[in-house]
């Protein structure tokens, strides 16, 4: 099968606590709930792309535990092609411990487990699908050598490569070989600041930050700005193109996976023929809708909801 979107990345079980605030060192705090959700940035982006309407294939590595089975079943139930999915029976599935505060803000600690075992060799095994995909979507919860290999192999084919640099690595540590093979870099404000040292807090600083990211090598940069929407910058013979897309105001319940929703919907729309402007609009709508429900997987919107929200503001 030639996928619209191929995601190479992480899959995890999210262990989510509702907390009144971040505890101090040595303090014990009472949370108000505990739930588990299927998550992981790669998994969330694959689900988002599939729900937005694309044919999606996932390459990732699960552990030989119950969590791995639940994650795999969820991918399949959402119509995602899992022929390239791998299971390592010697290790557990990736875990994310997430604290969600009263305003929907979150803190996340991940333990890579099986995600840390996805290797460049695993990518090589899947090269035929990677080179046939229209869009390849990457993040940084699997080893960076594996992400780099995926970008390089994808560019042997026709794919547009999108990198969500999350979690953000220290400034200067992303390999040049990776950035040179990225078409669209999609950080959020925090990741953009870590990568550039510029805090994108207003229009001028956001633009300066985006241009500095563009200088790292990708063909385009989209900084997601939460309630401020998204800013895209790209360079062509005509000069620098800028595009600011406004967000969709919503009541935030839990912002977990909003960035993943954006990336999945963006990749889905680009792979199915939309313009960059329309694809970013769908990304903003997906990110906004993902904030309105608790948890990663349950919050990722379906195509009909995305269409309705985008149509509400033309």
- CA separation for the pair 47, 153 (Å, rounded): 23
Q: How far is the CB of 291 from ligand RIB (least distance, A)?
A: 12
CA atoms within 13 A on the CB side of 155: 18
12 counts as binding ligand RIB under rule CB under 6 A: yes
- Of positions 52, 110, 162, 310, contacts ligand RIB by CB under 6 A: 110
**Residue choice 84, 146, 234, 256 for contact with ligand RIB (CB under 6 A):** 256
Which member of 4, 81, 183, 260 is catalytic?
260
- Tokens 């956001």, residue? 206
Exactly one of 8, 52, 96, 136 binds ligand RIB (CB under 6 A); that residue is: 96
Compare residues 87 and 112 and give the one whose CB is closer to ligand RIB: 112
Measured from the CB of residue 75, what is the shortest distance to ligand RIB in angstroms? 14
Please check whether residue 189 is in contact with residue 227, taking contact to mean a CB–CB distance below 8 angstroms. Answer: no
Tokens of 139: 């993040």
What are 138's two structure tokens?
Answer: 């990457």
Q: Which pair of structure tokens corresponds to residue 300?
A: 């990722």
Residue with structure tokens 């953000």? 168
Of the ranges 17-25, 201-209, 255-263, 300-308, which one interacts with ligand RIB (CB under 6 A)?
255-263
Indicate whether 191 belongs to the interface with ligand RIB (CB under 6 A): no
| Residue showing the smallest CB distance to ligand RIB in the complex | 39
Which CB, 152 or 294, lies closer to ligand RIB?
294
Does 296 interact with ligand RIB (rule: CB under 6 A)? yes
DSSP state of 31: -
Q: Are 136 and 54 in contact (CB under 8 A)?
A: no
In angstroms, the CA 205 to CA 307 distance is 32
Crossing angle of the two packed helices 41-51 and 258-271, in degrees rounded to 10: 50
Active-site residue set = 260
Q: In the complex, which residues of this chain contact ligand RIB (CB under 6 A)?
A: 12, 14, 39-41, 44, 96, 108, 110, 141, 256-257, 259-260, 296
């Amino acid at each position: 099968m030639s996928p619209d979107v191929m995601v190479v990345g992480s899959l995890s079980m999210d262990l989510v606590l509702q907390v009144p605030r971040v505890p101090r060192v040595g303090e014990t705090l009472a949370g108000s709930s505990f739930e588990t959700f299927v998550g992981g940035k790669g998994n969330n982006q694959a689900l988002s792309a599939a729900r937005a309407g694309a044919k999606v294939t996932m390459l990732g590595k699960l552990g030989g535990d119950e969590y791995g089975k639940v994650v795999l079943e969820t991918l399949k139930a959402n119509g995602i092609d899992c022929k390239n999915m791998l299971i390592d029976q010697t290790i557990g599935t990736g875990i994310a411990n997430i604290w969600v505060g009263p305003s929907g803000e979150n803190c996340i600690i991940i333990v890579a487990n099986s995600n840390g075992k996805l290797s460049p060799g695993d990518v090589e095994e899947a090269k035929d699908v990677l080179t046939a995909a229209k869009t390849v979507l990457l993040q940084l919860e699997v080893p960076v050598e594996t992400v780099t290999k995926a970008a390089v192999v994808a560019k042997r084919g026709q794919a547009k490569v999108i990198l969500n640099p999350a979690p953000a690595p220290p400034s200067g540590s992303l390999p040049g070989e990776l950035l040179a093979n990225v078409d669209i870099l999609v950080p959020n404000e925090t990741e953009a600041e870590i990568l550039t040292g510029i805090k994108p807090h207003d229009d001028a600083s956001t633009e300066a930050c985006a241009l500095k990211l563009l200088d790292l090598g990708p063909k385009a940069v989209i900084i997601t700005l939460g309630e401020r929407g998204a800013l895209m910058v790209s360079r062509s013979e005509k000069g620098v193109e800028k595009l600011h897309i406004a967000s969709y105001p919503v009541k935030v319940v839990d912002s977990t996976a909003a960035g993943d929703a954006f990336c999945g919907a963006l990749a889905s729309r680009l792979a199915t023929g939309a313009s960059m402007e329309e694809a970013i609009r769908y990304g903003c709508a997906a990110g906004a809708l993902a904030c309105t429900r608790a948890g990663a997987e349950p919050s990722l919107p379906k195509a009909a909801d995305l269409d309705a929200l985008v149509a509400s503001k033309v």
